[in-house]
Structure 1
Amino acid sequence: MKRKRKSSRENLRPGKLFRNPLKRKKIRTSFKSSQQFVQAETCLYLPDDCWEIVFRFLIINGYNSCLKSLSLVSKHFLSVTNCLLFSLTILDQTRPFLDRLFKRFTYLNSLDISEYDSDLDMLLCDISCFPLNITSLNICDNRTFPSNGLQAFSQKITTLTSLNASNIYSMDDQHAAHFSLFLTNLVSINLSECSYLTELSLFSLVKNCPSLSEIKMEDTDIGKENVENNDSMMDIGIYPQLKSLYLGDNLWLSVQKIIMFASSIPSLQLLDLNDCDLSDGIWQFVRRFDMITHLNLASCTDVNKFKMNFVLPKLQVLDLADTGVDDETVYAISKSCPGLLELLLKYCYYVTEKGVKHVVENCKQLRKIEFSDFYVHDTIRELAMDALFASVLKFL
């Protein structure tokens, strides 16, 4: 018996020919959505390095308070923001949480304990127990100098290169001589406003710290004569590593002392003598600093007595603010310092258009002349601006 052939109409059953269009669309849409989700998830992934760059834009002037809210978003952001904290200020309230903080912020390189009111020696001893790579330490504004704690700190944490120990009332030359023996990796130190320190401290530091390139000792007892200082200065050596020396506001400082420093620090590039009384010949020592590029004589006396028959070709920045210099002095300076890039003349009321013109003509590389807005004549300002504009065009 022959098999009955199915008609073509029977083959056109609704189930085969017409599928549910909604169902089909839904299937395709869900597949597409999942694909888009995977692609979007892939696009949103960024390495930690990229997130760090993004988050750094939120750190303004060193303030990273915006990172706190970011760290709450996800564990990933928390780990990234942890890596962006490099400095920590320790207060009395912070002390109980040091263990947690040091374990969380493993990239710390700067500690500020200047506002810590309890025992600094004990705090520094405790900090030394943690595996930290601290390069900068601030212990300023304290009554006593934490000599024992600092020694314990330096024995375990050998990466310290910068120390701010300014305004410590009890610090004297013996303290400086002592800690210079174990803080031998120092590159920069601030001992300003330590009123018992003399040049003995300065030479102890440069003698025992071979990498020390910057010393700040403003408002100290440098230059004060006594028998002990005179005997100790007999065996000073030469220390070419020191490049920057800040000695402003030292009442006892004399030109003779600076000349003595010059013989021991031949590579000095920055010398700050602001507000010093050097009336016995302020320009006598300048020629001895052959490498000097920055000189600050702001608020010094008798700067107008400018007499020198030599050239300082490397001097780039000269601050003469509030010195009473006149056109004649400015002219002489411009002839002796032809490489000046910046000349600061704030509160110099005797400098006129004539003096500025001399500077413009003799200092061809000049980039900046600073005046006080409330008295500068328009012509002087125009001359200065024309000179700066012309010098810029040379490099275009």
Structure 2
Amino acid sequence: MSLRKVNLSGHCHAIDSLLMHLCKNCEFLEEVTIMNCSSITCIGIASANRERPTLKSISITWRSIKPRYNNINSHFIDLLVSLKGLTCLDLSSSCIPDELLSSIAIGGLPLRRLVLHNCTGYSYLLDVRECDYISDEGVIQVLRRCCKIRHLNLAGCLGVNLCAMNFDVSKLEVLSLSHTRVDDKYSM
């Protein structure tokens, strides 16, 4: 099949094996959207992704914050990080561990869009040290949307100088800027 996108949102009979079948048999599949499918689990999504390592976009929103459905564990995280072409990841309403965020940063995924709307489970630490593709624009968008971040580690992010940052980050307690291009002219 030449199917490139599949949207199973609201499909009440969609189960892990259906997703696995689609990923296994749709050679050109690049985008998967799964919202409010109570019978598709994190384990099923991880297994399906293994069958289609060329996925570029994954959007997942569970109907419930019950661990049975969205148990984002190390297996799921390792699989996500192995998707080296992943440019869009939407995990809205998920319970995500800090390990997910740090693994994404360390894994060097070419993400252009990371959506964590209404997520729980992570602390207020964002550690993206030595990520070559972090830009001022990206950092500013994250800080504006994630206003509870207390610790931000940008050490070694050479694309960051924060010159366009002109707003208050009142909750930020620790900011690591070692080995960046930030100088006194742009310090907060």
Scaled by the length of structure 1, what TM-score is found? Answer: 0.34
Which protein is bigger by CA-based radius of gyration?
A: 1
Q: Distance in 2 between matches of 1:213 and 1:230?
A: 21
Identity of aligned residues (%): 17
1:247 aligns with 91
Matches within 5 A, 1:153-168: 158-168=1-11
| Cα displacement (A) at 1:258 | 3.6
Q: Distance in 1 between matches of 2:104 and 2:44?
A: 13
Distance 1:289 1:244, change over 3 A: farther
- AA partner of residue 13 (structure 2): S
2:82 aligns with 238
Distance 1:229 1:210, change over 3 A: closer
Q: Distance in 2 between matches of 1:291 and 1:273?
A: 19
1:306 equivalent in alignment to 2:155 = no
Distance 1:186 1:299, change over 3 A: same
Q: Distance in 2 between matches of 1:267 and 1:246?
A: 14
SS at match of 1:179: helix
Q: Distance in 2 between matches of 1:208 and 1:200?
A: 13
Q: Distance in 2 between matches of 1:206 and 1:262?
A: 19
| Cα displacement (A) at 1:283 | 1.1
- AA partner of residue 243 (structure 1): T
Map Cα deviations across residues 24-48 of structure 1 (whole Å, 9 max, x no partner): xxxxxxxxxxxxxxxxxxxxxxxxx
Distance 1:224 1:160, change over 3 A: same
Give 1 or 2: higher helix fraction: 1
Indicate conservation of the 8 Å contact 1:249/1:273, yes or no: yes
| Cα displacement (A) at 1:264 | 5.9
| Cα displacement (A) at 1:272 | 1.1
Map Cα deviations across residues 91-128 of structure 1 (whole Å, 9 max, x no partner): xxxxxxxxxxxxxxxxxxxxxxxxxxxxxxxxxxxxxx
2:36 aligns with 193
Q: Distance in 2 between matches of 1:338 and 1:257?
A: 27
Indicate conservation of the 8 Å contact 2:156/2:180, yes or no: yes
- AA partner of residue 84 (structure 2): P
Unaligned runs of 5+ in 1: 1-157, 316-324, 340-360, 364-396
Map Cα deviations across residues 345-385 of structure 1 (whole Å, 9 max, x no partner): xxxxxxxxxxxxxxxx749xxxxxxxxxxxxxxxxxxxxxx
Superposition CA RMSD, Å? 4.4
Matches within 5 A, 1:331-370: 332=175, 362=186
Give 1 or 2: higher strand fraction: 2
Map Cα deviations across residues 2-54 of structure 1 (whole Å, 9 max, x no partner): xxxxxxxxxxxxxxxxxxxxxxxxxxxxxxxxxxxxxxxxxxxxxxxxxxxxx
Q: Distance in 2 between matches of 1:336 and 1:225?
A: 42
For these two proteins, the number of residue pairs brought into alignment is 172
Matches within 5 A, 1:24-35: none
- AA partner of residue 182 (structure 1): N
2:99 aligns with 256
Distance 1:238 1:216, change over 3 A: same
Distance 1:172 1:231, change over 3 A: farther
1:8 aligns with none
Q: Distance in 2 between matches of 1:212 and 1:202?
A: 12
Higher RCO, 1 vs 2 (CA within 8 Å, ≥6 residues apart): 2
Distance 1:161 1:278, change over 3 A: same
Q: Distance in 2 between matches of 1:260 and 1:223?
A: 23
Q: 1:176 aligns with which of 4, 19, 24?
A: 19
| Cα displacement (A) at 1:163 | 1.7
Q: Distance in 2 between matches of 1:265 and 1:187?
A: 19
2:46 aligns with 203
Matches within 5 A, 1:1-396: 158-219=1-62, 224=67, 236=79, 238-250=82-94, 252-260=95-103, 266-284=109-127, 286-287=128-129, 290-291=132-133, 294=138, 302-303=148-149, 305-308=150-153, 310-313=155-158, 326-327=169-170, 329=172, 332=175, 362=186
SS at match of 2:46: helix
Q: Distance in 2 between matches of 1:223 and 1:260?
A: 23
